[in-house]
């Protein structure tokens, strides 16, 4: 079996170097430069048309996805038959409109393809992922693997490569991301996601000279819920608490569950007054009764707040100081919130009488 046929049978196009290896094998046997589904007119005059057709068919049927050849000088592009399954358009449509494969790129990903084309025209291979909108308007993730072919002068004359359907892999990635970054019980972000988000929020605040506020929320005496009513009731209440926290905040705010009955919120582009208002709203909402299977349960919460850069310039310090502020509330009277202060005499604590619904008292 010839070297090129062995390569054809092994082709997956997952690595663009395979294409280059195939080209080298073809060139070494005296074929002309230029590639069209493996071969082009004028190559190896010793082969019959039937043999040429068989080799082209072999390449088309052993490669996953859509293989293509783009002729740079004539601005035309040829696709294998799988283009209809991947893009949802008949193959004829791409012959009638040479730019159709560009027009169906998702608007948010157009820059990715533009940059890839620039890289190819400078002689560099590319491997990028982006979304397309099929003929049925279904959004699909695809991967483009391509390499340029240059003439003896180093000018790119053609681009060859493959489009691969990566939708299933993307779905798997999203599932794994959800498992890694969200809390199983409440579906809120977990500590891992919180750390990443807070670090990015601090970076944004540094660039734009803004403040970031970190709120540590702890449910008071939650242990007795599990002790008196069981973990099933406790889990139900935690899920309800998560919903109430979410409703208490702005759409742009971030809330994560970081422990059994502990939550952390991150606020950007806000003011101290606005965060105070949110904290009061959280305390009121959490204090509303919870109806379990056999009883109505009431809870209160203690909240500590730290501010970047006043109380720390990194995520760990801000979380530690928010936690300390929360414990000051918990040790004094619970059911309130306070901002972190290293000096007790400067500390300002807001307190809400349980279930009162009254405006916060100021100490």
Report, as residue numbers or ranges, the catalytic residues.
Answer: 261
Contact between 322 and 264 under an 8 Å Cβ cutoff? The reply is yes
16-39 pLDDT tens trace: 444 444 444 444 433 333 333 333
238-272 pLDDT tens trace: 999 999 999 999 999 999 999 899 999 999 999 99
Specify the pLDDT at position 38. 36
185-222 pLDDT tens trace: 999 999 999 999 999 999 999 999 999 999 999 999 89
Percentage with pLDDT > 90 across the chain: 56
Specify the pLDDT at position 205. 96
Quickly state the pLDDT bin for 229 (edges 50, 70, 90).
confident
Specify the pLDDT at position 47. 53
Contact between 308 and 214 under an 8 Å Cβ cutoff? The reply is yes
Contact between 332 and 313 under an 8 Å Cβ cutoff? The reply is no
For residue 32, the tally of other CB atoms under 10 A from its CB is: 13
Quickly state the pLDDT bin for 342 (edges 50, 70, 90).
confident
| CATH architecture under which domain 3-171 falls | 2-Layer Sandwich (3.30)
For the cut 90, the answer to whether the pLDDT of residue 333 exceeds it is no
Sign of CA dihedral 178, 312, 210, 251: positive
Specify the pLDDT at position 224. 87
Residue ranges per domain, the chain?
Answer: 3-171, 182-362
Query: What pTM value is reported for the model?
Result: 0.56
pLDDT, greater one: 43 or 75: 75
Specify the pLDDT at position 44. 44
Question: H/E element holding 115?
Answer: helix 110-121
Q: Provide φ and ψ at 132, rounded to 5°.
A: -125, 160
For the cut 60, the answer to whether the pLDDT of residue 357 exceeds it is no
Specify the pLDDT at position 176. 81
| CATH architecture under which domain 182-362 falls | 2-Layer Sandwich (3.30)
Q: For the sheet with 254-257, list strands across it.
A: 254-257, 262-268, 212-219, 301-308, 336-339, 349-351, 361-362
Q: Provide φ and ψ at 310, rounded to 5°.
A: -60, -40
97-110 pLDDT tens trace: 989 999 999 999 99
Residue 286 CA to residue 242 CA, distance in Å, equals 9
Quickly state the pLDDT bin for 51 (edges 50, 70, 90).
low
For residue 237, the tally of other CB atoms under 10 A from its CB is: 22
């Amino acid at each position: 079996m010839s070297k090129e046929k062995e390569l054809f049978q092994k082709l997956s196009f997952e690595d663009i170097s395979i294409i280059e290896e195939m080209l080298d094998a073809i060139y070494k046997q005296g074929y002309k430069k230029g590639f069209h589904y493996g071969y082009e007119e004028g190559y190896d005059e010793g082969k019959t048309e039937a043999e040429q057709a068989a080799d082209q068919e072999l390449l088309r049927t052993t490669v996953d996805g859509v293989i293509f050849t783009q002729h740079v000088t004539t601005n035309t592009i040829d696709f294998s038959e799988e283009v209809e399954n991947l893009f949802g358009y008949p193959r004829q449509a791409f012959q009638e409109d040479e730019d159709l494969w560009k027009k169906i790129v998702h608007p948010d990903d157009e820059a990715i393809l533009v940059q890839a084309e620039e890289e190819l025209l400078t002689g560099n291979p590319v491997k990028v992922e982006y979304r397309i909108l099929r003929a049925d308007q279904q959004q699909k993730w695809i991967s483009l693997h391509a390499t340029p072919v240059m003439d003896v002068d180093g000018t790119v004359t053609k681009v060859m490569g493959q489009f691969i359907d990566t939708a299933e892999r993307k779905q798997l990635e999203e599932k794994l991301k959800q498992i890694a970054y969200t809390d199983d019980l409440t579906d809120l972000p977990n500590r891992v996601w919180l750390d990443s988000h807070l670090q990015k929020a601090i970076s944004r605040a540094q660039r734009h000279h803004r403040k970031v506020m970190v709120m540590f929320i702890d449910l008071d005496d939650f242990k007795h819920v599990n002790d008196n009513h069981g973990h099933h009731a406790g889990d139900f209440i935690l899920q309800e608490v998560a919903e109430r926290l979410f409703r208490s905040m702005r759409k742009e705010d971030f809330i994560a569950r970081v422990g059994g009955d502990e939550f952390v919120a991150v606020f950007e582009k806000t003011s101290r007054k606005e965060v105070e208002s949110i904290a009061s709203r959280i305390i009121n909402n959490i204090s509303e009764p919870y109806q379990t299977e056999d009883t109505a349960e009431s809870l209160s919460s203690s909240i500590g707040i730290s501010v970047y850069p006043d109380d720390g310039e990194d995520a760990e310090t801000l979380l530690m100081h928010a936690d300390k502020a929360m414990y000051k509330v918990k040790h004094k009277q619970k059911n309130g919130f306070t901002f972190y202060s290293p000096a007790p005499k400067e500390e300002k604590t807001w307190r809400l009488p349980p279930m009162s619904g009254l405006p916060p008292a100021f100490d």
